[in-house]
């Protein structure tokens, strides 16, 4: 499995496609180049993987790592090494109405999160207390969010991760959702029986 290098590792895990606003991530990495301890680790694959590799080389982004794709069973161990986890989407009315599944995975992992997206996904991260949100496709705001969390104490980062995990347990845990569904079904059955 992947072993992250020492330093402040901002980990993005998942599909590397068009809706993930990857240009923004690279622009933020460029802004952060002078900060030698900060690394952007983009784990996964997708329709923009080759483009990403070319851009990283062309722009000489020494702070970006593209380790490739890993099986689901090793991902919790990789995510647990992250200083912070990053989720990003392009700016669009449809995207702002979605909470990417990645947000739930990140919350469950108990690590702090930066949400570089608009709308519901950003709201969940802020409401959970798990991290920071910045507008979609805003590289400067993303770089500032990374710097802000890098300057945050280890115990505060730990608290953010724990808040995210608690929020996941209270809102997204499958057993919790199944119990809620059963309670609703019981209510419907009781109403129709009366």
- Average pLDDT for consecutive 10-residue bins of the chain (194 residues)? 94 96 98 98 97 98 97 94 97 88 94 96 96 98 98 98 96 73 75 71
Alpha helices in the chain (DSSP H): 22-32, 49-58, 75-79, 101-109, 120-128, 139-150, 154-171, 174-193
Q: What is the pTM of this model?
A: 0.90
24, 17 in Cβ contact below 8 A? no
Measured CA distances, 93 to 126, 155, 194 (Å): 19, 36, 43
Please tell me the number of Cα atoms within 13 Å of 43 on its side-chain side.
Answer: 26
* Joined tokens for residue 127: 């409401």
**CB of 26 closer than 8 Å to CB of 103:** no
Tokens representing 188 are: 């419907």
Q: What per-residue confidence (pLDDT) applies to 186?
A: 75
Contact 42, 16 (CB under 8 A): yes
- Residues 184, 187, 188, 194, Cα dihedral to 10°: 180
Cβ(152)–Cβ(129) under 8 Å? no
Instruction: Say what the pLDDT of residue 66 is.
Output: 97
pLDDT, position 173: 78
109 vs 76: CA distance, rounded Å: 7
Q: Which residue has the tokens 């851009």?
A: 55
Beta-carbon neighbour count of residue 185 at 10 Å? 10
């Amino acid at each position: 499995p992947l072993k992250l290098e020492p330093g402040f590792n901002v980990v993005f895990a998942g599909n590397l496609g068009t809706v993930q606003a990857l240009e923004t991530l690279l622009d933020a990495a460029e802004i952060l180049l002078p900060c030698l301890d900060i690394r952007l680790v983009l784990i996964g694959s997708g329709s923009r993987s080759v483009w990403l590799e070319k851009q990283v080389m062309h722009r000489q982004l020494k702070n970006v790592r593209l380790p490739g794709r890993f099986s689901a069973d090793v991902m919790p161990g990789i995510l647990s090494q992250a200083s912070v986890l990053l989720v990003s989407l392009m700016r669009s009315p449809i995207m702002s109405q979605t909470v990417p599944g990645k947000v739930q995975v990140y919350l469950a992992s108990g690590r702090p999160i930066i949400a570089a997206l608009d709308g519901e996904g950003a709201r969940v991260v802020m409401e959970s207390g798990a991290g920071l949100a910045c507008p979609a496709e805003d590289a400067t705001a993303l770089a500032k969010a990374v710097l802000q969390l890098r300057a945050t104490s280890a115990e505060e980062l730990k608290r953010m991760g724990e808040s995210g995990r608690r929020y996941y347990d209270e809102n997204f845990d499958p057993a919790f959702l199944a119990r809620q569904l059963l309670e609703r079904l019981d209510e419907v059955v009781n109403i129709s029986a009366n």
